[in-house]
Amino acid sequence: MSADPRRQVPRTDTLLADPELAPAVDRLGRELVKSAVQEVQQRIRDGEVGPGDAVAAVLAGLPPTASSLRPVLNATGVLVHTNLGRSPLSAAAVAAIAAAGGTTDVELDLVTGRRGPRGAAAITALLAAVPAAQAAIVVNNCAAALALVATALGGELVIARGELVEIGDGFRIPELLVATGARLREVGTTNRVTLDDYRDALHEETGAVLKVHPSNFVVRGFTRAVPVAELAAALSGSGVPLVADVGSGLLRPHPALPDEPDLQTTLADGADLVLASGDKLLGGPQAGLVLGRADLVQRLRRHPLYRALRVDKTTLAALEATLRGPLPPVQEMLAADLAGLRRRAAALAARLAAAGLDAVAVDSEARVGGGGAPEHPLPSAAVSLPGDLAEPLRAGTPPVVGYVAGNRTLLDLRSLPPAADDALAGAVLAVAEDAA
């Protein structure tokens, strides 16, 4: 008669006390390690793991960190991929977050010992990057910036009908504005708005004129929009501020994105305030940036809602490091040389083909993503693999996210740094080996 397998399962407290698991308990916490122990105990009962291999099995099943978020290789060709966390942070920004994770002088003047201005260094870096701005504040995303503006400026907001946009996942600009208590005065038609439309809408209760860049779509044909410079000139002397939501966070004009509005130009053209995201083309952490006239920025800063929307010390640290430090990854991706991308694709395809995989290098088209520059595909290069590899690649370690075109899986290299090529090749080979 065989022994009861339950008697062979090591006790939970015995495994947790094993010296080999002590570093994992320190790094991940007792409860997470205990959960992994219980999973291995069940595998021993099921006959999948031998009792003597329990500790090794627990170590193999532990995550690298206490967070459930997993690093992913973005081979979609979408540089700012919302589902993958938008812009990857630079090494400088990651180091700044680690440094800010402890006790910091975020709101203390170390010279005087008194309370200091919160995030002053990040604001200084932002103003240095956008010299047309007199002042700036940072909130937790661009939607928060828009909500703060609508609440603090009050009154009626004048906005073109064609700019009442939905920007993804059912999020609609007009619904956000109305939720703040603002009243909307729609002008023009879906495809055309004129300067007279704006002029005729102004009255004593107008709080601001709002321009929203319809970043994720384009209307073609019989269209008309009023540029910021033209609208600013018409509003001059009226006392009505012009607020422009440019969305993508591009600091200055970029040659690869000729139609994408940027903060510096929009302010120089006469906007009183500009709003943008920090985690798109700027390449920093999630944040909402508000820059422009000092009196308006101060009005927003003193509004009670600002307290609820302000960012934490790690966001301020990452934003400052992004602005002051080396070129962030998204900017490197934008600047990537097509010839270099083709060489990388050819080398990777040859490496995979040598291992017996059906892999070839092909030209492809990448995208900015994050609602930016929908009309400007970026020439790129990819490794083409069999279509049935897409799902196992997503389930691999590390996960690789590409896209399927026809019956092929494409791994676009513009959205991956060159330093990730070895990891990409290793992940593909591991998946192919498992499939075989």
CA 122 and chain centroid, separation? 18
Whole-number pLDDT of residue 216: 64
| Number of residues written out for the chain | 436
**pLDDT < 70 positions in the chain:** 1-6, 168-169, 215-218, 371-372, 374-375, 436
DSSP secondary-structure letter at 10?
P
Query: In whole angstroms, what is the distance from residue 350 CA to residue 360 CA?
Result: 7
Contact 323, 128 (CB under 8 A): yes
The Cα–Cα gap between 383 and 395 comes to 19
User: Integer distance in angstroms from the first to the last C-alpha of the chain?
Assistant: 39
pTM, 2 dp: 0.89
Give the closest residue to 245 by CA, choosing from 289, 182, 284, 307.
Answer: 289
What pLDDT score does 135 carry? 98
Query: Please, what's the largest Cα pairwise distance for the chain?
Result: 97
By three-state DSSP, how is residue 31 classified? helix
Answer yes or no: are the C-beta atoms of 245 and 277 closer than 8 Å: no
C-beta of residue 400 within 8 angstroms of C-beta of residue 428: yes
Residue with tokens 């459930």: 68
User: Is 215 within 8 Å of 372 (Cβ atoms)?
Assistant: yes
Q: Are strands 242-247 and 273-277 parallel, antiparallel or unpaired?
A: parallel
Which residues, in sequence order, are CB contacts of 91 under 8 Å at separation 6+? 326
Torsion of CA 216, 178, 269, 228, to 10 degrees: 70
Using CA atoms, how far apart are residues 157 and 182, in angstroms rounded to an integer?
A: 7
Q: What's the token pair of residue 295?
A: 């009196």
The bridge status of strand 378-386 relative to strand 360-369 is antiparallel
Please tell me the predicted confidence (pLDDT) of residue 56: 93
Helix (H, G, I), strand (E, B) or coil at 74: strand
Nearest to 186 by CA among 152, 212, 204: 212
Q: How many CA atoms lie within 13 A of 219 on its CB side?
A: 15
Q: What is the DSSP string of 162-223?
A: GG--EEETTEEHHHHHHHTTPEEEEES-SSB--HHHHHHH--TTEEEEEEE--TT----SS-
CA 330 from centroid of its chain's CA atoms: 10
The answer to whether 413 touches 341, Cβ cutoff 8 Å, is: yes
**CB-based contacts of 69: which residues, under 8 Å, 6+ apart?**
none
Pairwise CA distance, residues 381 & 214, whole Å? 28
pLDDT at 371: 66
Check the CA dihedral 261-263-269-271 and report its sign. Answer: positive
Facing residues of 212 across strands?
245
Tokens of 221: 């044909």
CA-to-CA separations, 69 to 65, 86, 267, 381, in angstroms, rounded: 9, 14, 38, 28
pLDDT at 6: 60
DSSP code, position 156: E
* Phi/psi-derived region of residue 322, left when phi > 0, alpha when psi is between -120 and 50, beta in every other case: alpha
Which pLDDT does position 47 carry in this prediction?
86
The CA distance from 223 to 189, in Å, is 10
Residue 329 in 3-state DSSP? helix
Which pLDDT belongs to residue 1? Answer: 42
Own/partner pairs for 115-119, CB < 8 Å, 24+ apart?
Answer: 118/310, 118/316, 119/311, 119/316
Residue 231 exposed, middle or buried by CB count within 10 Å (0-12, 13-18, 19+): buried
